[in-house]
Amino acid sequence: MGKRMTELELLNGFDEAIENDHIFVCYQPKMNHATGRMIGAEALMRWNNPEYGMQYPSDFIPVLEQNDLIYKADLYVFERVCMFQREMLDKDLTSVPISFNMSRHDIIHSDYIDELERIRTKYNVPVKLLHAEITESSALGGMELITETLNRLHALGYFVEMDDFGSGYSSLNVLKDLNVDMIKLDMRFLSGNVGGRGGTIISSIVQMSKWLNTPVVAEGVETVAQADYMRSIGCIYIQGYVYSKPVTEGEFEKMLTEISSESGLKSMQLISTMDAERFWDPNSLETLIFNNYVGGAALFRYHDGKCDILRINQKYMKEIGMNMSEKEILCSDPMDGFDDENRKIFEDTLKLAAETGEEQSCETWRNVCSKICGSYRICVRSDIRMIGKADDQYIFYAMVRNITAEKRRFAEISDSERKFRMASEQINVYAWEYIFSTKEMHPCYRCMRDLGLPLVVENYPDPVFANGLFPQDYKEMYYDMLHRLEQGEEQLDAIIPLTVGRVPFHIRYTTEFDENGKPLKAYGSAALVQKDND
């Protein structure tokens, strides 16, 4: 261990350190604790200054991040990893996938992934030999950037690991939204006696990850007892001092030839690995998570066209229970409430979820019947995942949301629009909106049908004078009218002869203002002037 360099020394020395290989890469193996074989490794940055000695990432990475140098440093590490993998391929040595760390500051550079690809293709390294590690803290600035990064990496074929899970930013919802391929659970963040509270949290996370069908690697594992404990709860992948500290490239190459490796992760066993006992125990942490970390959720068994609900959480009762008792819900088959059409939608979704192993969603209407509320018709959105299968029985995990109110509101809006349309047919009214700021006119359905107007008339009213709908001799008066509305008049009306037939119409305008009293748009209507009414 050397003397710590100051921030200024780090910044001034950075370029030279890259040039002279003072910044280099160490490798730490990831092991399968059930077989003792290597499944991969992580590349970790090191900086050995000739004068001050070894510097550690916890000291220099924040400095590089704050000064926008991490991008260059990370691409450098990535290039060294690609060179190493190329060398292994050329020597015909079986290598393992090596993961590289991505900083939140890397993905802000829009060409970061292009650069990765440029380097990877330069050394012609298969994408499966490179894994990306992203940290959850990248989601801090919002999900968009990290989601986009993840999607782009996936589209290119990269395996993506969620680093530092359990560090505090973690929430299972982030996991649900980010479709990562592996979770790295850092034991150091969840320290404590493995048999105690830390242990139960760890085992619950492992359990949840199984429902999501995402493998877990435990990192920072220092003792055999910890590694054995992880294996006992179904997490067999281990990275930590118990197997090896990060080693230099040369030492790592030696390890590759000495320890046998295995490629590819076995896909998770489904229901057989689920610790049923804990799951049904009302005092277990699994129950706590099921009840608190997710929205409305249910576990149910599907067999031969029938569903049994195995378990629901409180939020499920709230979403679709309609005051039913838990017992009422558990005893009823939710499929009984479907008509044929909705039953088909639901069953097709279950089939797809079973075939693909991925989450599938549907929206279905169903009748629910409760002693207190009587019969109700509700619309439910379900996100469904198969978590187990035995013979011809399937176990599904469903997250549900009651969307009846949204659906009704939507129906009401289209209903009121329909009423308006009918009414305007009867009283011969044409209606439109005119938006001051954009000079756009949005005609009603009748205007479009009878007058051949498009959905949006740009630069209004020029086109309606050009096409003869409005007569030229009224041009000045009509422009003046719109101008006065824009200046803040609340209402104006006039009689204007329209179309080639010069049929007199009563044109009315009402202005709508924003909260500061600035005119936003004007609602216009045109009604035939009725002779007998005059």
- Alpha carbons 272 and 389: distance in angstroms, whole number: 9
Beta-bridged to residue 524, according to DSSP, are 432, 509
- The listed partner (Ca ion, ligand C2E, none) that binds 56, CB under 5 to 8 Å by sort, is ligand C2E
- The listed partner (Ca ion, ligand C2E, none) that binds 103, CB under 5 to 8 Å by sort, is ligand C2E
Binding ligand C2E (rule: CB under 6 A), the pick from 19, 58, 304, 327 is 58
Beta-bridged to residue 250, according to DSSP, are none
Task: Please report the sign of the dihedral spanned by the C-alpha atoms of residue 470, residue 476, residue 479, residue 480.
Answer: negative
Give me the least distance between CB of 197 and ligand C2E, in Å please: 20
Binding mask 30-49 for ligand C2E (x = CB under 6 A): --------------xx----
Residues in 150-169 at the binding interface with Ca ion, rule: CB under 5 A: 163-164
Give me the least distance between CB of 151 and ligand C2E, in Å please: 21
Please give the C-alpha separations between residue 271 and each of 232, 312, 379, in angstroms, as whole numbers. 16, 17, 29
**Residue 511 token pair:** 């202005």
Q: Is residue 221 a contact point for ligand C2E (CB under 6 A)?
A: yes
Binding ligand C2E (rule: CB under 6 A), the pick from 101, 149, 313, 402 is 101
Do 301 and 310 form a contact (C-beta atoms < 8 A)? yes
Query: DSSP letter at 180?
Result: -
Q: How many residues bind ligand C2E (CB under 6 A)?
A: 21
Place of tokens 């216009």: 524
Name which of 79 and 286 has its Cβ closer to ligand C2E: 79
Binding mask 14-33 for ligand C2E (x = CB under 6 A): --------------x-----
Q: Is residue 101 a contact point for Ca ion (CB under 5 A)?
A: yes
Task: Name the segment binding ligand C2E (CB under 6 A); options: 239-247, 255-263, 363-371, 516-524.
Answer: 239-247
Please give the C-alpha separations between residue 98 and each of 17, 84, 270, 477, in angstroms, as whole numbers. 23, 10, 27, 75
Binding mask 175-214 for ligand C2E (x = CB under 6 A): -------------x--------------------------
Do 274 and 387 form a contact (C-beta atoms < 8 A)? yes
Q: Is residue 133 a contact point for Ca ion (CB under 5 A)?
A: yes
CA dihedral 432, 435, 438, 439 (to 10 degrees): 60
- The listed partner (ligand C2E, Ca ion, none) that binds 241, CB under 5 to 8 Å by sort, is ligand C2E
- The listed partner (ligand C2E, Ca ion, none) that binds 4, CB under 5 to 8 Å by sort, is none
Q: How many residues bind Ca ion (CB under 5 A)?
A: 4
Name which of 44 and 208 has its Cβ closer to ligand C2E: 44
**Residue 14 token pair:** 């950075």
Name which of 72 and 401 has its Cβ closer to ligand C2E: 72
Give me the least distance between CB of 41 and ligand C2E, in Å please: 11
**Residue 217 token pair:** 């690697």
Give me the least distance between CB of 22 and Ca ion, in Å please: 22
- Alpha carbons 235 and 205: distance in angstroms, whole number: 10
Please give the C-alpha separations between residue 72 and each of 83, 106, 109, in angstroms, as whole numbers. 16, 9, 11
Q: Is residue 103 a contact point for ligand C2E (CB under 6 A)?
A: yes
Name which of 103 and 424 has its Cβ closer to ligand C2E: 103
Name which of 188 and 518 has its Cβ closer to ligand C2E: 188
Do 95 and 87 form a contact (C-beta atoms < 8 A)? no
Do 368 and 337 form a contact (C-beta atoms < 8 A)? yes
Cis previous bond, 29, omega within 30: no
Binding ligand C2E (rule: CB under 6 A), the pick from 97, 240, 296, 461 is 240
Binding ligand C2E (rule: CB under 6 A), the pick from 40, 246, 321, 461 is 246
Binding ligand C2E (rule: CB under 6 A), the pick from 136, 161, 163, 383 is 163
Give me the least distance between CB of 161 and Ca ion, in Å please: 8
Query: DSSP letter at 323?
Result: T
**Residue 496 token pair:** 């204007």
Give me the least distance between CB of 11 and ligand C2E, in Å please: 17
Place of tokens 């057989």: 272
Compute how many other C-beta atoms are within 10 angstroms of the C-beta atom of residue 427: 9
| Backbone dihedral region for residue 192 (phi beyond 0: left; psi -120 to 50: alpha; all else: beta) | left
Do 457 and 441 form a contact (C-beta atoms < 8 A)? yes
Q: Is residue 222 a contact point for ligand C2E (CB under 6 A)?
A: yes
Beta-bridged to residue 435, according to DSSP, are 440, 521
Give me the least distance between CB of 371 and ligand C2E, in Å please: 54
| Rounded CA Rg of the chain | 33
Q: Footprint of ligand C2E on this chain (CB under 6 A)?
A: 28, 44-45, 56-58, 61, 70, 74, 77, 101, 103, 163-164, 188, 220-222, 240-241, 246
- Site for Ca ion, rule CB under 5 A: 101, 133, 163-164
